[in-house]
A and B are shown apart, each in its own frame.
Chain A
Amino acid sequence: MIRFNIALFIATLATMLYIVGVQYESRRLFVEVEKANLNVRKLEFENAALQVEKRAQATPLRIEKLAKERLNMRSALPSVTQYIQNGSNDDVGAKK
């Protein structure tokens, strides 16, 4: 009977230690998940910031300035535009 009790006592101790270990491991993994989630959120915001930055680099104001200054381009006017119809190569330009 005593042996059985000792065995039970050892089993209880082992279970206790195992529970503590599992709890520790669970918290460690939870912290990892939290860190990853935080990283996801950070990357999402970085992505949003980059999208805004990309948009800021492509505003009509900047494009027009670069086109005029660097590429010597000018605004398209009807006089230098050839109008074509969808799905046809016919020149339907301005009414004559």
Chain B
Amino acid sequence: MKTSISYTTSPLLASKTPVWRSKFIVAALVLGFFALAVRAVDIQVVNNDFFKRQGELRFVRTLDLPANRGQILDRNGLILASSVIAPSIWATPEDVEISDANLAKLAKLLDMPIAEVSKKLNDDDKSFVWLKRQVDINRAKQIEALGIKGVYLRNEYKRQYPEGDAVSSLMGFANVEGKGLGGIELAFNEALSGKTGSRKVIKDRLGRVVENVGEQFLPVTGKDLQLSIDSKIQFFAFQKLRDAVQEHKAKSGSVVVLDVVTGEVLALANYPVSASTKIANLNGAQLRNRALTDTFEPGSTMKTFTAALALERGLVKPETVIQTAPGRITIGGATITDAHPHDALTVSQIIQKSSNVGVVKMAMQMQSSEMWTMFDQVGFGKKPQLTFPGMATGRVRPYKSWRPVEQATMSYGYGLSCSLVQLAHAYTVFARDGDLIPMSIVKRDTVAVGQSVISPKTASSISSMLQLASGDGGTAPKAQTMGYSVGGKTGTAHVLEGKAYANKKYRGSYVGMAPIEKPRVVVAVMIDEPSNGKYFGGDVAAPVFSETVQQSLRILGVQPDLSVKPQMVAKAVEESF
């Protein structure tokens, strides 16, 4: 029996090697290959996903595919807000190599002091630093042309509002990340934003994408939003309001134009506003849309609702005579007075002359619950059905807590509050034969259906009274406009400061409609704290109404319903024999 293997024929080299050794080596090799096979199965089959993922982590890059934010358009498809490329400039301080001349040029292009740019570029503690975000594309190209090592560009998108200040309080704004933070931008942020997509790619050493890996998730572009706003009407409303606020040295002003036929908001302007490019420096007061977010005591503009209720209940007729002399009345120990005392007035004249005493005498014949119901039905004390952030509901206290004097003061617009939009909306009742139509700030494709609040007869009577109020002998002859019959009501209220009324601070307002026989628009104007002598609504707000109505009806193509002396001069062709 062999116990060893002979590896040579030379007896000198012969060694006795045990057989088990070679067997051991063979076994070790088999085991080694077996281990390799097991490992191969482990890598290729059992844990394949893990190793694949690890591999991808080392060479695959995931790129975000940003979604474009949708445009905001006016009712005629004109751009009110759109996103454009605005590159941001960033740097890696440790890589920066820059000469003094280039530093000066860079600082100039960035519109920043040299010292500030230098400080940012020398901040070696940071591996990434923004020099300036969202710069003008032409400037970015010039910066790129400087070829400064360590300074790079990154494409971002900036929201632009070509209409500028005229729409800024309505549009709100979107931040550098493209997120809506105010106004329409915030209200419709989800629809406008779209959805960011992504894809996995392999990049080469030059940073170029050379291959797609796996599935691509394409970005979903934000939806365009078409508002009911007419940019021309909006501009004219804003322009007239701005002129009035400046002329009367007022604190602020707002104007709302509603389409009586569709319930759409055609214009909603505020002044003052600040340029949307400097949003970061603005405070809440400058950013908010006062016509929607601020409430005020409407004053005499509420008298029409009291008179409408009295007519609707059959308590009075337009020609019913009510004694308002001596111009004061005492209710529950408090005396209510007229600014200008009158004698006996008909109900129509009470609205025309805006007599507090006359309205209070009508109101005291009614139940407080009836008045509350009327106010509630026309939308006071309720949030308007518009999509807009921070809308005010106003305040109309439950009728059970009304004292007689409060019922009296509410009848002429004190002791309750509303926003200008609510007031304008409520007046559509008189313009639509007693119907209240839902409002919309988005362009409507369907016809909205109104809800009856008062009878067409009452609405017609109030319209006639409103026409009287804006005629000669009324409180707002300045509301008249060339070619169109108008009707409306002034309001002049003391500003409430704390728990008392400020003595010499007023808020002048005017709400009206035109053309009076077949109204097409309701326009509400509010001028806050005019301080240049005039403060009555008929003096400060009615002229804005007049000019806004004139332009709005012209733009809407409404033919004048009043005779106008033509001033057209046609050049005649010389006659020939």
Indicate if B566 sits at the interface (CB-CB under 8 A): yes
A80 touches B559 (CB 8 A): no
B564 touches A94 (CB 8 A): yes
Residues of B within 8 A of A (CB-CB), count: 40
Q: Beta-carbon contacts of A43-58 to B below 8 Å, as 1s and 0s?
A: 0011011011101100
B84 touches A48 (CB 8 A): yes
CB-CB nearest in chain A for B158: A49
Indicate if A18 sits at the interface (CB-CB under 8 A): no
Indicate if A9 sits at the interface (CB-CB under 8 A): no
At the interface with chain A, which of B21-29, B96-104, B231-239, B253-261?
Answer: B231-239
B162 touches A56 (CB 8 A): yes
Q: Which of A30, A34, A94 contacts B560 (CB 8 A)?
A: A94
B482 touches A60 (CB 8 A): no
B380 to nearest A CB, angstroms? Answer: 34
At the interface with chain A, which of B204-212, B268-276, B345-353?
Answer: B204-212
Across-interface contacts of B554 in A (CB, < 8 A): 76, 78, 81
A78 touches B79 (CB 8 A): no
**Known: A30-B209, A31-B209, A79-B566. Contact between A94 and B84, CB under 8 A?**
no
Q: A53 vs B567: C-alpha distance in the bound complex, in angstroms?
A: 38
B100 to nearest A CB, angstroms? Answer: 33
CB-CB nearest in chain B for A31: B208
Across-interface contacts of B550 in A (CB, < 8 A): 77
Category for how many chain A residues contact B: 20 to 34
Across-interface contacts of B235 in A (CB, < 8 A): 59-61
Indicate if B160 sits at the interface (CB-CB under 8 A): yes
Q: Beta-carbon contacts of A85-96 to B below 8 Å, as 1s and 0s?
A: 000000011111
B559 touches A92 (CB 8 A): yes
Q: Which of B166, B208, B482, B560 contacts A83 (CB 8 A)?
A: B560
A-contacting residues, B538-577, CB 8 Å? 550-551, 554, 559-568
Indicate if A72 sits at the interface (CB-CB under 8 A): no
**Known: A79-B567, A80-B567, A82-B568. Contact between A48 and B483, CB under 8 A?**
no
Q: Which of A56, A79, A81 contacts B565 (CB 8 A)?
A: A79
Indicate if A27 sits at the interface (CB-CB under 8 A): yes
Indicate if B137 sits at the interface (CB-CB under 8 A): yes
B483 touches A49 (CB 8 A): no
B65 to nearest A CB, angstroms? Answer: 10
CB-CB nearest in chain A for B550: A77
- Chain B CB count within 10 A is highest, among A52, A76, A93, for A52
B561 touches A60 (CB 8 A): no
Q: Beta-carbon contacts of B192-209 to A below 8 Å, as 1s and 0s?
A: 000000000000100011
Q: A31 vs B526: C-alpha distance in the bound complex, in angstroms?
A: 61
Q: A80 vs B566: C-alpha distance in the bound complex, in angstroms?
A: 6
**Known: A27-B210, A94-B563. Contact between A52 and B137, CB under 8 A?**
no
Indicate if B82 sits at the interface (CB-CB under 8 A): yes
CB-CB nearest in chain B for A60: B235
A52 touches B483 (CB 8 A): no
Indicate if B163 sits at the interface (CB-CB under 8 A): yes
Top 10 A-B pairs ranked by shortest CB distance? A78-B483, A56-B162, A60-B235, A49-B84, A55-B162, A78-B560, A94-B560, A79-B567, A27-B210, A45-B85
16 other A-B residue contacts (CB within 8 Å) besides A30-B212, A77-B550: A27-B210, A31-B209, A48-B83, A59-B163, A60-B236, A61-B166, A61-B239, A77-B564, A78-B560, A79-B482, A79-B566, A79-B568, A93-B560, A93-B566, A95-B561, A95-B562
